[in-house]
Amino acid sequence: MKKALLLCLYCFTLTVSAQQKDLRSPRQLFPGLFEAVQMGRIFPDNKTFVDATPREAPAVVLAAYAEQRRLPGFDLKRFVEAYFQLPEASASGYHTNIAGGLPRHLDTLWTVLRRPGQDSVAPYASLLPLPNSYVVPGGRFREVYYWDSYFTMLGLRVSHRPELLRGMVDNFAYLITRYGFIPNGNRTYYLTRSQPPFFSRMVELLAQEQGDTVLRRYQPALLREYQFWMAGADSLAPGAARRSVVRLAGGEVLNRYWDQSAEPREESYQEDVTAAQRSQRPAAQFYRDVRAAAASGWDFSSRWFVPGQGLESIRTTGLIPVDLNCLLYQLENTLARASHLRGDEAASRNFQKQAAARRKAIQRYCWDARANWFVDYDWEQRKLSLVRTLAGVFPLESGIATSTQASKTAAGLRRDFLRPGGLITTLATTGQQWDAPNAWAPLQWMAVQGLRRYGQQELASTIAQRWISLNQIVFQQTGKLMEKYNVENITALGGGGEYPLQDGFGWTNGVLLDLTKQYPAYSR
């Protein structure tokens, strides 16, 4: 089985290498034209152009643009439509049957959001081919996304779709093999950053279904992802950082979010350029921190801002996120188990040691005894972040918290975060989508699991019941499941951020299915 998998991935890699050697992003392929399209806002969403497929080679397109743009009456949008195939609307032609009920809708969505694997893609397209079928989130998100997919997979397991679940895990292993890490999504413009490292959780999920042979099978990919996140750690002096790693004053190594590029995001180019003009920070640093926030998945939130200020103050790379380090703690533990199963006891002991050191460091740097909450650590200013967020539940879900810390966190959740529809993301209302009054499915799930782990069953049940009910209410009103929800006013929809509310929606579907399995009395 292992040899067959490796041979399949190797052959697919050779095919892709032969057919798509050019991994340049749209901005790199179409300089000048790209900036004109994105800054001219000829499409309401900057993601439209970067997802379009060129009809001709870049040299042909750029030559035509150079010639035609000087002509009287030149229409840039008409030019783009002539030389590019624009992306189709996701789930076009699909109409919800509300009367059919939410369970049927959820099952149908796996077909609507499923995309087939590809041996190749059109030349110069931004899409990166994957060998197996996968599920996209929906709406403007036409490609697979890294951390979204774990929560989608929870639903695939409940829906008894093991082949699709296994195929998606294999896709992520392929991405690690080909690119050395899992990109934010399978697009060329995402090749500078990753996302919250849930791959080990995906492998563990599959192992629950298929046994421990799964851990042995994916151990090489797990190890390579770990090497990506820890690159440069050994050579760091205390108080220094390199890419994703930071060595703290006490010698401990923890991680931060990072993006290799210091340019505006191509999929949100106009927004980034405009925001940078309002910032007092150097443009390159501003762009880096915006990109790092995109790598976190929390784009955007007051979590990353100077307290009391807005996006112009963003400083993501100056913070050590508590949730990221909990995920890497889990990766280290998974690698310890996988190494043991492969008979490499020395490696297993080493990963156990790394996990123990990370757990101790999270306790030292991320627990705020005055706030009774796990927070991010400001490594540049050597102090705890003042911002409490739902990232503080990750130490419960991963088992890092003490029972006393879990009890205090539960009290804080009930007192400050619990709303009629579930848990708000932060306590600040800023207009950013990862702030109040919005709530997101993955954070509800992490909170529920963390509370259950520490025996806080009543609060876990309350959160699950309110979230499930909110999903059901919005479905009855709209026929849709949403990317995010307003949990303060359950009659209003979620909002904020730099693009309209999206429906689909992969991780909402997965979490809803998993929670209704855990709490069947709340489903209807």
Residue type, 255: N
Which residues, 6+ apart, have CB-to-CB distance to 191 below 8 Å? 23, 25, 128, 179, 183
Question: What token pair was written down for 232?
Answer: 């440069």
Contact between residue 39 and residue 269 where contact means Cβ atoms under 8 Å apart: yes
Backbone angles phi, psi at 509, to 5 degrees: -60, -45
Element (H, E) at 4: helix 2-19
> Is it true that the peptide bond before 437 is cis, omega within 30 degrees of 0?
yes
Q: Residues 259, 264, 268, 274: is their CA dihedral positive or negative?
A: positive
In three-state form (DSSP H/G/I as H, E/B as E, the rest C), the secondary structure along 44-95 is CCCHHHHCCEECCCHHHHHHHHHHHCCCCCCCHHHHHHHHEECCCCCCCCCC
Active site residue 299: yes
Query: Length of the chain, please?
Result: 524
Kindly give the pairing relationship between strand 245-247 and strand 383-384: unpaired
Angle, CA 104 vertex, CA 99 and CA 108 arms, to 5°? 120
Catalytic residue among 148, 225, 483, 514: 483
CA distance 286 to 275: 9
Contact between residue 366 and residue 322 where contact means Cβ atoms under 8 Å apart: yes
CA distance 362 to 395: 9
Q: Which residue's entry shows tokens 């991010």?
A: 376
CA 436 to chain centre: 19
CA 427 to chain centre: 22
CA distance 238 to 168: 39
Beta carbons within 10 angstroms of residue 277's beta carbon:
10
Residue type, 413: L
User: What does the longest C-alpha to C-alpha distance in the chain come to?
Assistant: 73
Catalytic residue among 267, 299, 397, 503: 299
Three-state DSSP class for residue 383: strand
Three-state DSSP class for residue 180: coil
Beta carbons within 10 angstroms of residue 159's beta carbon:
18
Three-state DSSP class for residue 451: helix
Angle at which helices 162-179 and 199-210 cross, to 10°: 140
Residues annotated as part of the active site: 299, 483
